Chains A and B, each alone.
Chain A
Amino acid sequence: MLTADPGEVALYRGRRGRTPGLPVGQQAQVLRELAGEVRRSVVRMIDRAQMGHIGGDFSVADILATLFGGVLNVDPGDPRNATRDRFVLSKGHCAASLYATLAHCGFFPKSELETFMAPLSALNGHPNRTKVPGVETNTGPLGHGFPVAVGCAIAGKLSGQDWRTFVVLGDGELQEGSNWEAAMTASHHDLGNLTAIVDRNRFQQGAGTEETKSLEPLADKWTSFGWDVRETDGHDHAQLLQAFRPSDTGRPVAVIAHTIKGKGVSFMEDRVEWHHKVPSRDQVHAALEELSR
C-alpha cells in the first residue's frame, strides 16, 4: 500500500479548509489549476508507459479535480477514516487521471506517478484499493463501480452518518445493465446521499455512443428511474461545484456532465481515436505546451 506525502497532505488540508470559504470564482481558479496539473501528469504518465486512455482521462479531469479539490470530505493523511466521503471511479480505465489527482492531493508521492503501469508498480492500468490509498473498489470491468457505490450509500444511511458517496460513470459504460440495476436500487432506497456523475463525452472505444447503442434521451432515462437530474458543463468548475451540492429532495442525484473527450489538447478533442491512442514525441511536446498555457 502506498503512503501519503506529508508535505502535500498539509497543503491539501490547508487548501480544503480554505476553498469552500472562497468566492466561487477564486475556488474555480484553484480547481482549474489542479485539473491542469492532472492533465500534464497524465501526458507524462502515458508517454512513459506508452499505454493509457488519454481521451477519457482528459474528459474526466475537471470532474475529479472539482471533487477532490472542492467537494469530497476526505483526508489523504487518513484515507480509510470511517466517516470519509466515498468516491468510486467506475470508469476504471481512466486510472491515470485518478492517480494524478490523488497524487496532487497528497494521497501518495507524485514521484510514484512515474511508475504508472511499470512492472510491480502499485499503479496498475486499473485502480486497486489494496495498493492505492483513495481507491475504494477495484474497477476496470465496466458496470461494477455503481453497485458498489450504492452499497456504500446504503451503509452510510444505515449507520446514520452524513458522509456522501460519489461515483463517476463513463457514458458508454451505461450500456452495461448492472448500472440500471443499481439505479433502481438507489432510487428504491431513497439514497439522497448518493451522486452519480456521467462523464458524457459521447464516445466509447470505437465510435460515438449514439452510433453504437444510443443512450439518449439520457436525462429522461435517469428521471424515469427516480433520480434528480442535473445537467452541467463538465469542464466548468463553478458549474460542477453547484451540481455536486447535496440532494435538494432526498432523491439520489444524477449529474450529466457534458464533456469533450481529449479536452485540453486541440488535436485530441472530440476525436474517437484518442480513446487509447498514445501520443508521439512531438505530440507529447505539443500537448504539454498547450496544457501549460
Chain B
Amino acid sequence: MTAELVRETFDCRQAFAEELIALAKEDERVVAVCNDSVGSSNLVKFKEIFPERLINVGIAEQDLVGVGAGLANGGFVPFVSAAGPFLTGRATEQIKADAAYSGVPVVLCGQSPGMAYGELGPTHHSIEDLSWMRAIADLAVVVPADPAQTRQAVRWAASYSKPVYMRIPRFKVPEVTPENAPFEPGRAVQLTEGDDVTVMAVGTLVSRAVEAAETLRGEGIGVRVLNMTFIEPMDVEAVLRAARETKGIVTAEEATTTGGLGAAVANVVVQNEPVPMRILGINREFAPTGSASFLLEHFGLTADGISRAVRELLQP
C-alpha cells in the first residue's frame, strides 16, 4: 500500500455544482435542465439561487434532451443533467439528432457514471456511455478525472460551440491535475515521465494509473501516464508520440472496452504506429452485485491491475 491510497478523495458533483453556479452568476444564458435529478445532480443550491433557470422536465429523458436542444436554439446555454445510464441510454437518438446532427451546443452531463451506483446494478451503471457517445459525429466526449478538471470541463463546455457529453464522477477520486494544466479539445495532460510504457487513462482510473507508475518506478520501469480527458476529439499526436517513444500502451477506463478510450487509441495506433497494447475496462459483461470499489477491484481496474498489464507488455 502506498501513501497515495490515503490521499483525500472528492465527489466531483460538488465541483460541478459550484462551478455551474459561478458560471450562471456571470452569464445569464446558463440554465440547468434535469430529469427529476435535482438532488442526484447536486443542483439543490442552483435551484435556490436561480429558481427560474432550473428546468425540471420530470422523469422523461427524451423530452429532457429535446428541451435542452430547444433552449440552445433559443439562445441559452443548457447544462442537461441526468444519471449517465438514463441520459445516454434512453435519449441516445435525441443526443444524435437534436443535439449533435442539429449542431446545437447542448452540454450533456452524465452524472454518477461508470459503476458508481455499485450495488444498484447494471441497469444503473453507465459503462456503455463512452462507446455510444463516441459513435456520434460532432459530439465531444469528455471524462474529467478530478474536481479541478470537472470545474475546467464545465467552464470550457459553456463556451464551446458544439455539443458536449461529459461524465461527472460520483466515485470519490483524489486530485491529480497539476495547477495551470491545459484543458482543450484534442489535448492530453501528461502526469508522469517515462519511456518504457505509456498508460492512458480517463476519469477514476487516472489516479490509479499514477499510483501504478509510482509502484513500477520502484521496479525500474518508467511509465508515462497520460490523462486522456478528451476521448473525442482525441490528442492523436500524444498517442502517436507514445507509440513511437515507448514500448507499448495500456489504456484504462471504467467503461466497456467495445468503443471507449481503448478502442479510440487502438484505432489510431494500429493504423499508424502499431505497438503492443492492453485495453483495460469491462469486456462485454454485466457486473455482479457489489459496491463501486468492489467492482473496480473485480474487473482489475486498480493500480495493481494496471501494473500487471504494464509488466505483461514488457515480457519478451
Kindly list chain B residues whose C-beta atoms are within 8 Å of the C-beta of A255. Answer: none
Q: Determine whether the beta carbon of A150 is less than 8 Å from that of B58.
A: no
Task: Determine the distance from Cα of A143 to Cα of B53 in the docked complex, in whole angstroms.
Answer: 25
> CB-CB < 8 A to B67: which residues of A?
147-148, 150-151, 154, 182, 185
Q: How far is the CA of A188 from the CA of B59 in the complex (A)?
A: 13
- Check if B94 sits within 8 Å of A147, measured CB to CB: yes
Taking a contact as CB atoms under 8 Å apart, the answer to whether A154 and B53 are in contact is no
Which of A129, A148, A177, A189 contacts B66, CB < 8 Å? A148
Binds A, one of B6-14, B39-47, B97-105, B292-300: B97-105
Once bound together, how far apart are the Cα atoms of A235 and B99, in whole Å? 33
In the bound complex, residues from chain B placing their C-beta under 8 Å from that of A155 are 70-71, 73-76
B98 — which chain A residues lie within 8 A by C-beta?
137-138, 144, 147-148
Q: Per a CB cutoff under 8 Å, which of A128, A154, A178, A181 touches B70?
A: A154
User: B44-60 toward A: CB 8 Å interface, digit per residue (1/0)?
Assistant: 00000000110101101
- A139 engages B97 (CB within 8 Å): yes
Report B-chain residues with C-beta under 8 Å of the C-beta of A151: 66-74, 78
In the complex, per-residue mask of A161-197: 1 if CB is within 8 Å of any chain B CB, else 0? 0000000000000000110011011001100000000
A147 touches B63 (CB 8 A): yes
For residue A82, which residues in chain B have a CB less than 8 angstroms away from its CB?
A: 75
Is B31 an interface position by the 8 A CB rule? yes
Determine the chain B residues whose CB is within 8 A of the CB of A256 once the complex forms: none
B93 within 8 A of A: yes
Could you tell me if B63 and A159 are in contact, using CB atoms closer than 8 angstroms? no
Question: How many residue pairs bridge A and B at CB < 8 Å?
Answer: 110
Q: Which residue on B lies nearest to A80, using beta carbons?
A: B73
For this complex, into which size category does the number of interface residues on chain B fall? 20 to 34
Contact A181 B63 (CB under 8 A): yes
Given contacts A143-B62, A158-B52, A185-B63, A152 and B70 within 8 Å (CB-CB): yes
A137 nearest in chain B by CB position: B102
Taking CB as reference atom, which chain B residue is nearest A135?
Answer: B102
Q: Which residues does chain A contribute within 8 Å of B58, judged by CB atoms?
A: 181, 184-185, 188
Is the beta-carbon distance between B62 and A147 smaller than 8 angstroms?
yes
Complex alpha-carbon distance, A151 and B72, angstroms: 8
A62 within 8 A of partner (CB) = no
Asked if B65 is at the interface of the complex by the 8 Å CB criterion, the answer is yes
Query: Do the beta carbons of A141 and B70 come within 8 Å of each other?
Result: no
User: Is B55's CB under 8 angstroms from A154's CB?
Assistant: yes
A189 to B104, CA, bound (A): 23
**Interface digits, A236-278 against B, CB 8 Å rule (1 contact, 0 not)?**
0000000000000000000000000000000000000000000
A154 x B62 contact (CB < 8 A): no
CB nearest neighbor in A for B52: A158
Interface membership of A57, Cβ < 8 A: no
What residues of A have a CB within 8 angstroms of the CB of B69 in the complex? 137, 147-148, 151
Task: Tell me if B66 and A144 are in contact (CB < 8 A).
Answer: yes
Q: Chain B residues in contact with chain A, CB under 8 A?
A: 31, 52-53, 55, 57-58, 60, 62-63, 65-76, 78, 93-94, 97-98, 101-104
Q: A144-B66, A148-B98 are in contact. List 18 more A-B contacts (CB 8 A).
A: A82-B75, A86-B74, A137-B98, A144-B97, A147-B94, A151-B72, A152-B70, A154-B70, A155-B74, A158-B52, A159-B75, A159-B76, A177-B62, A178-B62, A181-B60, A182-B67, A185-B57, A185-B60
Enumerate chain A interface residues (CB-CB to B < 8 A): 82, 86, 128-130, 136-141, 143-144, 146-156, 158-159, 177-178, 181-182, 184-185, 188-189
11 A-B residue contacts at CB 8 Å?
A137-B102, A147-B69, A150-B67, A151-B67, A152-B73, A158-B74, A158-B76, A178-B66, A184-B60, A184-B63, A185-B57
